[in-house]
């Protein structure tokens, strides 16, 4: 009886093999027939990655190495006689105003503190011998500030606009912890101010068929940044706004640039003692802007500083599931540092 069962099982196995054999042969045949196609796909992928690396290296050399070796300087006056810089009394904005003035461009400073405006305006005129004006404007107030700005820029040959005005969280926070006033301030300053300043100066640039618009975004536009959600989202908007404007107005001779820096030593990140000291990864505002200005007319989307470009490349290589826990840990560390200091004060 057991022998009969054994032979029955063997017959079943043989039958299954006879059924599967043609199928497996078809699969193998199909695999071998498509080997050339698979090899071609792999080769194309390798070529694409190689070209991306070569393009990145070329861009890095063009932006940061070539100007130093050949002492190349941009003729920024080709865009116009005047540059408008928002948030111009501190940090990156002040550095942009001074750097542009060193190239012989007249400067119009826009900020909310009249004492600082007078001081910076006078210093730029004295140090660089250019004309300066200033407009007092608190962008956090919303729509009411723009009529006076529009009047102040009437009939002015604005060649360069630097949208630098920006605000961030007092320290890394969960979104529901952010006060309503801060929410509106970020929306009005980081988003609405840049949009309206472009809306004011762009018609003149189109009419003259020249101009440059530099929008200071942030590296936070590349990946999600928990605990800085609204700030990162506002900078992502600015980056997209800049890149899309390029396709609308590059044919009019207007250069539009999105600057996406990592950390720079400024008051905006004063909640962290780590980022208040100059280092290879965290430059001073003056050092950052000196390199960023060299990229005007060269790169439409750039980190602006050599080490920030390397950080950007590494950031883009990271999968989101690696990046998010890492940046969350960093933001949480800064949050705890700030709250600890506040509790001891």
Active site residues: 231
Token pair recorded at residue 246:
């390029």
Token pair recorded at residue 191:
């988003």
What residues form DSSP beta bridges with 136? 111
Using CA atoms, how far apart are residues 153 and 151, in angstroms rounded to an integer? 5
DSSP code of 209? T
Are 287 and 52 in contact, with CB atoms under 8 Å apart? no
Give the CA distances from residue 97 to residues 67, 104, 127, 282, 305, in Å, rounded to whole numbers and listed in that order: 20, 11, 12, 20, 17
The pair phi, psi for residue 49, each rounded to 5°, is -65, -40
User: Which of left, alpha, beta for 257 (phi over 0: left; psi -120 to 50: alpha)?
Assistant: beta
3-state secondary structure of 218: coil
Instruction: List CB contacts of 254: < 8 A, sequence separation 6 or more.
Output: 202, 205, 206, 210, 211, 212, 213
Closest CA to 297 of 252, 259, 254: 254
What residues form DSSP beta bridges with 134? 109
Are 122 and 109 in contact, with CB atoms under 8 Å apart? no
Token pair recorded at residue 56:
């990145």
């Amino acid at each position: 009886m057991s022998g009969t069962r054994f032979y029955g099982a063997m017959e079943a196995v043989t039958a299954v093999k006879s059924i599967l054999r043609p199928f497996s042969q078809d699969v193998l045949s199909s695999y071998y027939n498509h080997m050339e196609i698979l090899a071609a796909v792999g080769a194309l992928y390798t070529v694409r990655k190689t070209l991306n690396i070569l393009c990145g290296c070329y861009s890095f050399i063009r932006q940061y190495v070539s100007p130093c070796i050949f002492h190349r300087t941009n003729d920024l006056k080709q865009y116009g006689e005047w540059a408008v810089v928002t948030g111009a009394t501190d940090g990156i904005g002040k550095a942009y105003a001074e750097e542009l003035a060193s190239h012989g461009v007249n400067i119009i400073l826009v900020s909310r503190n009249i004492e600082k405006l007078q001081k910076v305006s006078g210093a730029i005129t004295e140090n660089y011998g250019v004309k300066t004006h200033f407009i007092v404007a608190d962008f956090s107030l919303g729509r009411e500030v723009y009529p006076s700005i529009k009047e102040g820029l009437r009939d002015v040959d604005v060649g360069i606009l630097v949208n630098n005005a920006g605000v961030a969280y007092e320290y890394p926070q969960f979104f529901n912890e952010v006060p309503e006033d801060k929410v509106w301030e970020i929306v009005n300053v980081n988003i609405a101010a840049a949009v309206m300043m472009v809306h004011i100066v762009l018609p003149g640039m189109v009419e003259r068929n020249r101009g440059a618009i530099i929008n200071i975004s942030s590296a936070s536009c590349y990946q999600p940044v928990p605990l800085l959600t609204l700030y990162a989202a506002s900078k992502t908007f600015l980056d997209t706004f800049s890149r899309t404007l390029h396709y609308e107005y590059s044919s009019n001779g207007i250069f539009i640039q999105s600057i996406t820096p990592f950390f720079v030593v400024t008051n905006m990140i004063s909640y962290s003692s780590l980022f208040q000291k100059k280092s290879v990864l965290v430059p001073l505002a003056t050092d950052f802007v000196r390199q960023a200005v060299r990229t005007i007319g060269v790169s439409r989307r750039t980190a602006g500083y050599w080490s920030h470009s390397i950080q950007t490349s590494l950031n883009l290589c990271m999968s989101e599931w690696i990046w998010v826990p890492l940046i969350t840990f960093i933001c949480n560390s800064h949050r705890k540092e700030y709250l600890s200091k506040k509790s001891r004060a």
